[in-house]
Amino acid sequence: MAGESGDPFRVLIACLLSLRTQDTTTGPAAARLFALADAPAAMLTLTPRQIERAIYPVGFYRTKARVILKLCRDLLARFGGTVPDEIDALLTLDGVGRKTANLVVTMGFDKPGICVDTHVHRISNRLGYIRTTTPDESEMALRATLPRRYWIGYNDLLVTFGQNVCAPVSPKCSACPVRPLCRRVGVTTSR
């Protein structure tokens, strides 16, 4: 997602490409696609095969190519080719879930939102800060408890922390800087 901040369309498409794909693959794929087309109308001049070739090897690249074309048609038909800046409007677009919608409003429009992925959901619950069972519930609980000034940076902070310290299985509790504050909810083994 690096480098896409500020342009809502690029943020939206890069986010769709990033789902179930590592960032090291997503960035170059997005760059190849945006070199061909970087707006909804321009994207619709491409064939599904051209998009597939540009975004390969992202996960589900064939499906994502079709979703991108449908999304671009929808943006043109319903929003005049402009990406909406409200979460509820974004959620009406095919292929856009809460995480993507929040990412678009935060990175594309610099508006407050909380992007809840697996790391944010797991770590927020593990710390005992919230008690939820799904990422959507976690988003709502965090909106109710986390001060708004922390919303935008919360995801980046916890993703990095989750990849390096607070792993899903056997977290590195011995190296954790917040261990004295952590309730370790659900942790059965750690390093």
Active site residues: 99, 117
Which ranges constitute the DSSP H helices of the chain? 8-18, 23-36, 40-43, 48-55, 61-79, 87-90, 98-103, 109, 118-126, 135-145, 151-164
Q: Which run of H or E residues covers position 108?
A: none
d(CA 158, CA 171): 13
Tokens 């954790």 sit at which residue? 176
Tokens 């988003």 sit at which residue? 139
What six digits make up the tokens of 128?
Answer: 């005992």
Whether the bond between 84 and the residue before it is cis, its omega within 30 degrees of 0, is no
